[in-house]
Structure formats: C-alpha cells, structure tokens
Amino acid sequence: MAEGNLTGVAARLPGLSGAEVARRTAAGQVNDVPVRSSRSVTEIVRANVLTRFNAIIGGLFLVILVVGPVQDGLFGFVIVANTAIGIFQELRAKHTLDSLAVIGEARPEVRRNGETVEISTSGIVLGDLVELGPGDKVVVDGEVAEADGLEVDESLLTGEADPVLKHPGDPVMSGSFVVAGGGAFTATKVGRDAYATQLAEEASRFTLVDSELRGGISRILKYITWAMVPTTVGLVISQFTVESRDAREAVRRTVGGIVPMVPEGLVLLTSVAFAIGVVRLGRRQCLVQELPAIEGLARVDVVCLDKTGTLTEGGMDVTELRPLDGGSGTDGAHGTGREDHGSGGNDVSHRDGGNSGGHGDGGSSAAAGYAARALAALGGSDPRPNASLRAIVDAYPPAGAADWRGRGVLPFSSARKYSGAAFTEPDGTDSAWLLGAPDVLLPAGHPALGEVDRLNDQGLRVLLLTRATRPLDDPEVARDVAPVALVVLEQRLRPEAGDTLRYFAEQGVHVKVISGDNAVSVGAVAGKLGLPGAQAPVDARRLPAERDAMAEALDEGTVFGRVTPQQKRDMVAALQSRGHNVAMTGDGVNDVLALKDADIGVSMGSGSEATRAVAQIVLLDNSFATLPSVVAEGRRVIGNITRVATLFLTKTVYSVLLAVLVVCWQVPYPFLPRHLTLLATLTIGVPAFFLALAPNKERARPNFVRRVMRYSTPAGIICGVASFVAYLVARHHYTGSGALDAETSAATLTLFLLELWVLAVIARPYTWWRILLVLAMVLCFAVVLAVPWLQDFFALRLVGDEVPWAAVGIAAAGAVLLEVSWAWVRHREQAEG
C-alpha cells in the first residue's frame, strides 16, 4: 500500500429509489437474517430439559411411581422445579440481552433517492448503496462504487494485517472494516447468501461455552458418569440379592443409592448465576455479548487501556494556535508579510511565549490567520473527521475557507499518524497540507519539538500543521515538510477514571495504557489520574520487536505512546506469553486487532462498529466506571459456584462411596430416596440457591476442578464413612420389625449433621444472613423429627437414646476430621500461592 493516496471528489451516486427498495423487499432480496444476541426460546427449553442427568432422574422417577410410595419420588418434583427455574432465568437474561443488543447494534447508512438514511442491518436490500467511513464495519458483501482514500482492514478474514486500498469495482467482504478514508459500495450479496451471516452470528451470539467454569463442570460430570455405571450395576445386583424377598424394597433402596450420585442442581445454578449476572449488568447498560466474558474479566490480571475514549472523553477543545518559523512556506508568495485572510473562525489566543517563531505582532497575527484558514479548509475536506479534527472544525469552521478549492485528500490513518489535503487557494496558488503528530512529521532534534515536549508534559495534545513540499500521492510526502503551526488541544478527563484505576490497583490488576498519542502527553494524562508508573512513559517506537524482550519491557512499564495498531496486537500477545490474562479496552478502529486477540475485549458503546463487533463486552453508556461492576459480577459467579460445586460434589462422593460399601458388606442400602431428597434439599438445594447469588469479592483463582475436588473428596469420604458406621452400629443394636426404619433414621441423623457442618464451613466467612440460613436448615430438620405426620411421611423415627446419641457422637468425630482436612487443603493452597 502506498504511504499516500491522493483522492479527489467523485460524482455522487443517488442509490436506489423508494420503488426499487419496495420491489426488492417484496421479492425477498433483503438482508433478513437476524443477528441474535441470545439463544432462541426453543434452544433454551431444549438445553434445560433434554440433559443426560434429567433423563436418568426422569427414568428413576417413573420407576418409583410404579413401585411407590410417592414420597420416595420427591426427587422428581425437585428436578421439574429446578428445570423451570433455569428456563425462567435464562429467558429473563435473553430478554435483557436482546433489548440491549437493539441499542448497540450497527446502524449502517445507505443512500436512497440521493439522500443518506440510517437503517438497521436487516433493512439492507440487494443493490443498496451503503456508505462507509472510518470505523464502519462492512455488514454485507459488495462492490466498491465510490472510493475516497478508502482503506479496508481484512485481517479478521485473511489474517493479513496491512489495510487494503480499495478502488471502484473492487470487492469488499463482510467482516472487514474501514481504517481510513470513505466511500460507498453496492450490496451484491444479502441475507443468507452473504458471508456476514456467519461472521455476525459468531461475533454477537450469546454463548454458554469456552468457559473454565462450565468446562470444569462438564469434566466433573463426565467423571461422575464413568463412576456411576459400574457402581450402579453393583448396587442393583447387591440390593436384589439382599432384599430378594421384597422386590419393591430392593427397587426403592437401589433408586435411593443412584439418585444422590447425580449433582442435578449444579448445572442449573451455574446457568442461573450467569443469567442473573447478565441481568444485573444489563441494568448498568453493559451488554455481555458472550456469557463467559463475565467470568473471563474476573480472571484478568492485566488491563490494557486506550487513552482516548477510556481515560479521556471523546471530545477535545482547541486551546491555542502557535505559528512557527517556516510558517511562511517555501516560496516567497507566502512570507510572513502576506495579507491576513482572517482566521475564519474563533480567535484562539496565545499563551505567553507561545510564538516560538519570533515574529512581530503583525507577522504573528498574519501567520496565525493564514494557519487558521488552512485548518478550516482541512476540516471541511474530511466528511468524517476524527475527534481531533472535530475539535479543529469547532474552532475553525469550514465556512472560513469556503474559497479554498479542494484538489485531493489523504485520509487519516492510525499507522501514518497524519492526514492531509491539497487545495487551490484564492490567489490561484496550489498547496498541500499535512496535519498530524509532530514527532512523526518533524525530524529528531527539530527546535519545535522542544516546545511540543513542554506542552505534552502538561497533558496537552499537540498536532502539527505543515505545508508539504511533495505531492500527496508521494509515498515520502511526510519528508521535508515546512512546519506552519502547532495546534494545542486539551483533552477532557473522564471524572470516574481515577476511581476505576484505584479499584484495579487495590484488586491487584495491573493497568497498561497503550495509545497512539505522544508518550509524554499520555503519561501526563495518566499521572493526573494517579496511575503509578505514569511518570516514566515509554515511546513504543523504541520497543524491541522480539516477543520476550517486549514482554519484559511491558512488565516494567505502565504508559506507552506512539503505539501502532499492529503493536497493540503484539503487546497483547507478549503479555499473554507471560501467562497473563489480558483485557483490552478501546473504541477506535486501531484497537480492533488487539481487542480480538485479548482474552476479553471491551468496547465503548460509542465506538466504531468494528470494535463493537469483536468485543465480548460493550459498555453502552461509554462509562469506564462500569468495568469494576463487571469484575465484581464475575468474581461473584466464580466464587459462589466454587462453593456450590463443593456442596454438590460432596454428595456425589459420599453416594458413590456408600454404594461401594453396601456392595462390599452385602447389606440393604441405608437410605430411601425420600431421606436423601430431604437432606439434599436442606443442606444443598436451598442453601446453594442463596449462596450462588450472594455477594462475593474473592479473587478469582484458576484450576476450578482441582480446587473443588480437593475440598469435596475428603468431605464426601468422611460423610460416607461416618453415616455407614452409624448405620452398622444401629443394625447391631436394633432387632425385630421396624428395625430397618430405626437403622436408617440413625444413619440419616449422622449424615444430616455432617452435611450441615460442610454447609457451615462453605458458608464462611459468616454474615448474619449466612448464620440465619444454617440455623433455618437445622430448624426445618428438627420440625420433621418433631411432627408425627412428617415422621411417618419421611419414615424417620429415632428409637431409644443410645443409638441416636451414638449417631451424634460419630457425627462430632466426623466434624473434627472435616475441620482438619479443610485446614490441610487451605494450607496447601496457600503454599502453592
């Protein structure tokens, strides 16, 4: 691609007429493929109902309905309730996401009847003339009809990072985006024929995959399935052998052994926790385009911020125009004595000492007026000015240079760091102008750069206005320029940025500011916000290209300026190579590649279509202060699901162990399904629902499966062995009719007390509501033991004093072992860091 692309103004095409649009819409030639931000209602219902474990539990429920009694089938009603809750919560999240997606969706501009109108993506018809500008995403396939320095980045399609210069007749593919210039293209493929269909759905679909949390749970469920098959076979044979004279009792005891092996509520509560997180963030105008992003941002330990639009607001103000030596240009016609044509705009005053050119008052005024006219002409030459040029347009309206005739435009590019335009001035003189970064346009050591550095030290942004000595289409157009004036702009700091940076520092998350602006200026802005390390900004042009060396420099530095789009991508990769989880925030086209490669991409709602398409999280209210809420929500989900998973898997471990012990001892299974349904409801189901949704600020840690199994395995073994010992003690003590109920009641008491202890440990650190939750479960179990009809319903009857107190003693010994094992596991985790 040539460094400079001189473009003129082409004849404006009118686009389709209203009648043509109506005909093509009626013919179905419309881009009618909806981009969904969530699963359909049918998919949600299917995903919650048609699960492997629902099939197992449902089959066992039907068996119990045949052999009776109904109270042994309570687990089936629990599954129905859990499934209904899961469907309701995900539908609620879907409604929130879909409504937010409408706010954040791309609204392309098309030309119809010679006028530009904004429509939804689904409103584009075949043959529509779609206008493009910097940051716009190409939403359907087409052919370029107009090109004004149009440069398109196709890296998301081809992997090629260099922008491609497009001319009329060239194809454009959906999924690419504009990095410079503008133009229009004719839609040649819409609807299901367009490549956009697959890309848009992949970019914007609400997903439940690629999550360490959900992936870990899937692995656990796979292990459980493997363990269930041989255990179930042995249990069935054992129970029908032991209870050979009572087949119905054998069936009930077998089902009682199989049902608790299934952690039926674990997947439900994970989905509910994520769904409620989506709803909570939706209330803060935060669109989560991919569900795992909530979890992912909580695991992030490095956040890369683009200064503009993140630390600063999008708008800027011109505070000063400083003429420079050389402002007279290279020929005599433009000396400092030239007649002042007037500024054509606002009178921007100079600070003391601002006139580094050393002109007298008259010369300085004439030079400033001439520079202002050039700026007004430059502002009028760009139909889609960026934030810097918008500020210049506000200060120097294009009407002030209406008599300057445009001859060509060089669009702004993040890679070049400057833009340009060529004009024929009122006196017939042809001139070419560049506006951009002083340290890019001027050679090192130029006297004006000292003044630029002093302004940058104050956190001000400085652009250089120069007259080019070469044609705009010359690849070396930025060489040998004649500096005319410095344009000083003041950036508006986001009021909430300082608090947000402090939050990340407190949470141990490292912040890296990477910007295309001057490093000193970026450092001054970051310093005003109190960012540690901002006093030592780094010019990215001096960074090593080798990944390990770059990663080392990134670990040491905090603020980096003059970063190119490709360098942003390389920086993200370098940080990831050091094991960091990286989040990238941005709003401009120069951020797209880095956003795509980062572990989590965060875009501002006002950002370009391209950034919103590749980001997992879109802050619709453009508030950087929303990020801590996303981090907190992710930590809540991860921390709480870890607690809840420990409860569920403890039950699975002791259930498998009890089945093995029963097979080895050849005794009836200690529990009926109703007993384990009661215990699971009081010590797992109800408490887990509250714990999964509670506030939680614990730091997210990796290795979810290993950490959960470290806690649940010893806890499950202790619970299983203790309850089986209580059962054997009761079998030895009780004889005669009704002995089996008494034996089961003693084992149930032991198991309840130990599961309650596991719950009490999981609920730490205690708060008033957690203490109340544990006490409420104790009270519910006491009511069951105290009320006669509940005793009969659940077949629970504590007989005598010796065995019940022995059961309590066995539970107390188990509780001591639980505390010891918990302390040992915590010590190991701390030792591993």
Cβ atoms of 152 and 138 closer than 8 Å: yes
Our CA dihedral for 697, 699, 701, 705, rounded to 10 degrees, sits at -20
Q: What is the mean pLDDT of the chain?
A: 80
pLDDT bracket for residue 448 (50, 70, 90): confident
* pLDDT the model gives residue 345: 39
Reduced to 3 states (helix: H, G, I; strand: E, B; else coil), residue 470 is coil
Return the structure tokens found at 347.
């009178």
* pLDDT the model gives residue 751: 95
Report how far residue 673's alpha carbon sits from residue 252's, in angstroms, rounded to the nearest whole number.
7
* pLDDT the model gives residue 195: 59
Reduced to 3 states (helix: H, G, I; strand: E, B; else coil), residue 700 is coil
pLDDT bracket for residue 740 (50, 70, 90): low
Give which of 89, 46, 49, 87 is closest to 275, Cα–Cα. Answer: 89
Of 30-34, 50-54, 674-678, give the lowest mean pLDDT range.
30-34
Which residue is associated with the tokens 């990944």? Answer: 547
pLDDT over 90, % of the chain: 14
Which residue is associated with the tokens 């400057």? Answer: 418
Q: What is the CA radius of gyration of the chain?
A: 35
What value does the mean pLDDT take over residues 230-253? 78
Catalytic residue chosen out of the listed positions 141, 148, 301, 306: 306
Considering only residues 68 and 504, tell me which one the structure prediction assigns the higher pLDDT: 504
Report how far residue 4's alpha carbon sits from residue 12's, in angstroms, rounded to the nearest whole number.
23
CATH, domain range 286-311+494-622: 3.40.50.1000
User: Residue 306 catalytic?
Assistant: yes
Considering only residues 406 and 68, tell me which one the structure prediction assigns the higher pLDDT: 406
Taking CA atoms, 143 is separated from 6, 129, 171, 187, in Å, by 21, 10, 4, 7
Which one of 1-15, 161-175, 394-408 scores highest in mean pLDDT? 394-408
Report how far residue 673's alpha carbon sits from residue 459's, in angstroms, rounded to the nearest whole number.
70
Cβ atoms of 216 and 704 closer than 8 Å: yes
* pLDDT the model gives residue 16: 86
Give which of 71, 67, 66, 62 is closest to 671, Cα–Cα. Answer: 71
Of 19-23, 51-55, 503-507, give the lowest mean pLDDT range.
51-55
Sign of CA dihedral 765, 769, 775, 776: negative
- For the chain, what are the domain ranges? 213-281+633-832, 286-311+494-622, 312-493
* pLDDT the model gives residue 176: 79
Taking CA atoms, 109 is separated from 27, 38, 581, 725, 756, in Å, by 22, 26, 37, 75, 62
Sign of CA dihedral 271, 273, 274, 280: positive
Residue 618 has pLDDT above 80, yes or no: yes
CATH for 213-281+633-832, options being 3.40.50.300, 3.30.300.180, 1.20.1110.10, 1.10.3720.10: 1.20.1110.10
Q: Model confidence over 676-731: pLDDT tens digits?
A: 889 988 998 889 888 887 877 777 777 788 888 888 999 999 999 999 999 999 88
Which one of 78-82, 374-378, 399-403 scores highest in mean pLDDT? 374-378
With 0.75 as the threshold, say if the pTM is over it.
no
Residue 344 has pLDDT above 50, yes or no: no
Cβ atoms of 754 and 818 closer than 8 Å: yes
Report how far residue 50's alpha carbon sits from residue 679's, in angstroms, rounded to the nearest whole number.
26
What value does the mean pLDDT take over residues 84-113? 75
Residue 442 has pLDDT above 80, yes or no: yes
Cβ atoms of 233 and 283 closer than 8 Å: no
Give which of 746, 749, 755 is closest to 727, Cα–Cα. Answer: 746
Report how far residue 683's alpha carbon sits from residue 774's, in angstroms, rounded to the nearest whole number.
8
Degrees to nearest 5, angle at CA 374 with 445 and 344: 130
Cβ atoms of 161 and 593 closer than 8 Å: yes
Q: How would you classify the pairing of strands 115-118 and 109-112? A: antiparallel
Q: Which helix (H) or strand (E) element contains residue 317? A: strand 312-323
pLDDT bracket for residue 576 (50, 70, 90): very high
* pLDDT the model gives residue 364: 63
Report how far residue 643's alpha carbon sits from residue 490's, in angstroms, rounded to the nearest whole number.
49
Q: 312-493 domain in CATH 3.40.1110?
A: yes
